[in-house]
Chain A
Amino acid sequence: MSVCGSCHGCETSVLELPRPAATRSAPPKTIALVGPPNSGKSTLFNRLTGLRQKVANFPGVTVEQHTGVAELPDGRAVRVIDLPGIYSMSPRSEDEQVAYDVLTGKRADTPKPEAILLVLDSTNLARHLMLAAPILSLGVPTLIVLNMADDLRNRAGHVDREALSAQLGAPVALVSARRGEGIDEVFDFMAGALAKPTPMELPVLQDVPKCREWAGRVGRQARYQPPAPPQWTRRLDSVFLHPVAGPLVFALVVLAVFQTLFTAAVPLMNGVRWLFDVSGAWITATLPPSAFRSLLIDGVWKGVGSVVVFLPQVLLLFLFIGILEDSGYLARAALIADRTMARVGLQGKSFIPLLSAHACAVPAILSTRTIENKRDRTATILIAPFMTCPARLQVYTLIIAAFLPERRLLGVFSSRAAALLGLYALGFLAAVATAKALKSSILKSGSTQFLLEMPSYRWPTVQSLGLRLLDRSKVFLRRAGTVILLVMVILWVMAHVPTQGGRAPAIEHSFAGQIGHAIEPAIKPLGFNWKIGVGLITSLAARETIIGTLGAIYGMDPETHSGDLETAIHHDLTPGGAVALLIFFAFAMQCVSTIAVVRRETGGWKWPALQFGYMSVLAYSGAFLAAHLIR
């Protein structure tokens, strides 16, 4: 900060910033954001860090770590850590333990924050102040951020900032993170001199009723006037939680989700596919024919392209769910879904991940973090891959088209659509049955109670939605960029060696083909031949690769070379085999990325291994039954 106190050339008056000589502290290098859930903490975090944020895991626990960099007006950078939403600091849950450890510097991987931003909902101040007690007792310079100041104002609430600041012995800022009000005060705090808090009194931290009394006293001293109850929330809830209208809206929302997947996403998907086709054609035209070009086109472009083409679907779905979540509706949906979920041993909060899994299981499993009950969370993670994702849909569509002529059932319903719907239902039923089995045996819950806070309805902000979409697409593209890419390259290599006279071998004699022949005895009872076998192997990494693989195999085979894929499959599979293949894909776990994320979220190999084994056995048995019952 420069001070032009002695310059006479400048005619304008210059503000000399106060700088107490001895106690001027260096700007904080690390600052932590703490607050109860639903206090708008993340919105403030987004305001402070913008695009300069990333999400990672705290090593050793399945707790998310959001870190970012905030740029102060004078150009200096401050590292901001967004800690999980906590109600208190009694370390019972993983979230609270991690928050406590970070704030006290006990975590080796995270530096102890030099300052704390305590974000509280100003419309619920009396209770949220309870968290101020343990935070202030840490003795770390703290800024009390009273968020949602706009709501407080609009609903005729009021608080005396100076009085509150005097009571708590710490600076207080009135902020609306959503609208960007008061944010400069937060920056001023981060840039300025920091002092330890000097609260007038603190309660016994472990005694919850005493803490609440203290919070009430402080609030009264600060002449806190609670705002009027949120009218709009009550009004909307009278519809959304109406005995009849509520479930109707819920059903409409679920339907809209699927509608998005099937229709709205299609033009975007075609656009992505076109991009890949055009760029692929350009490469084919530009590069001379070579092994490298073949690898690039047949391996990388086709393989990665087949995954990236789903990006619009995934993003649209998460945009939709993001709007539902940020607006507050999702809590109501979880409430309505709870009873049904409870019947299979789960709870309402499992509903959202299971819905998202219809777009992609990977981000869906990540979103199970909101389920506090560890066993419910594990069960949800384990059954999520049963949901019919777009990859499965691609395979279903191909096989149904090859085997089921399009007919009108009862003159109205398309036979193919009915078959598709049946497969969707099959996946759902398998998930539900598995949940019931898990929750009655190895994942049987203790007596953990179901608690769900209903936030007030709010308009979602474009910034939060945008940032969340960016985060999701990064996760999804990382999947395409690393796992699938690696697999496609390996597959390409396996299909093109050993070379015969410097040229690629016939698919039968390549490594891939040899492996297909090797496993043929095992899959013959299911009605599959070695070609399907090769397809099954490649699909272990990602389901939809079977389409490309079969396309390549039949394409290379002089007999089927000229026909289309559907005809080729039709000749190679009996109807029983076709159904068996459908059922196999309905139940099998064929997604390396899912396995990877399950491992990360459950903290070990035990669960993903169990999941893979169980689903494989189910897939094999189901296909076996189908092949033998249907002739």
Chain B
Amino acid sequence: MLQLSGNNEPDGAPSTLLDLRRGDAAILDRIDLPGDEARRLMELGFLPGARITAGFSAPGGDPRVFQVDGSEIALRRETARLLKTRPDKGTRRAAGARIR
């Protein structure tokens, strides 16, 4: 079943990495963290404009592995919540992309 990536929130409600389920992708908009912490995430690849795909997770969904800039980084929900995203327009998930 083809599905547009990103989410279908109405404009105005910010979406975050938390909203991504496994296989979903989004574009990072901004990181709502103080300078030092944000920098650490940016060094790992979480840069505004980067495409982030949600991967596997621990049972229960927390923490979850995110594929970004060639690496796989695991984040807790409390961090994922602070990474604001915008939909990844222009790409539709191909049939083989979801690994079920």
Contacts and interface: CB of A to CB of B under 8 A. Distances in A.
A234 to B, nearest CB: 7
List 4 A-B pairs, minimum CB-CB distance, nearest first: A241-B56, A454-B72, A87-B43, A208-B42
B9 interface: no
27 contacts: A87-B43, A88-B43, A92-B36, A92-B39, A92-B40, A123-B70, A124-B71, A127-B69, A127-B70, A127-B71, A208-B47, A212-B42, A234-B99, A241-B56, A241-B57, A244-B59, A247-B59, A338-B62, A338-B63, A338-B74, A338-B76, A447-B37, A448-B37, A449-B76, A450-B63, A451-B74, A452-B63
Contacts of B41: 449, 451
B58 to A, nearest CB: 5
Contacts of A247: 59
A226 B56 CA distance: 22
A433 B70 CA distance: 39
| Dominant SS among interface residues on chain B | mixed
Interface in A420-473: 447-454
B87 interface: no
Contacts of B70: 123-124, 126-127, 226
> Chain A interface residue count: which class?
35 or more
> Chain B interface residue count: which class?
20 to 34
Contacts of B78: 449
A88 B36 CA distance: 12
B44 to A, nearest CB: 7
Nearest to B38: A208
A552 to B, nearest CB: 51
Contacts of B6: none
Contact of B74 (A90, A234, A454): A454
A209 B58 contact: no
A335 B63 contact: yes
A209 B56 contact: no
A548 interface: no
Nearest to B37: A449
Nearest to A448: B37
Given A130-B43, A209-B42, A335-B65, A453 B59 contact: no
A246 interface: yes
B44 A87 contact: yes
Nearest to B80: A449
Contact of A338 (B40, B45, B48, B58): B58
B32 to A, nearest CB: 11
B73 interface: yes
A212 B47 contact: yes
A241 B42 contact: no
A528 to B, nearest CB: 46
A334 B72 CA distance: 14
Nearest to B50: A212
B77 to A, nearest CB: 10
Contacts of B7: none
Nearest to A208: B42
B4 interface: no
B59 A246 contact: yes
Nearest to B62: A339
B59 A336 contact: yes
A592 B37 CA distance: 38
Nearest to A244: B59
B60 interface: yes
Given A87-B43, A130-B43, A241-B65, A452 B59 contact: no
A246 B45 CA distance: 27
B17 to A, nearest CB: 12
A129 to B, nearest CB: 11
Contacts of A90: 39
B55 A453 contact: no
Contacts of A348: 63
B57 A454 contact: no
B76 to A, nearest CB: 5
Contacts of A226: 70
A243 interface: yes
A450 B39 CA distance: 14
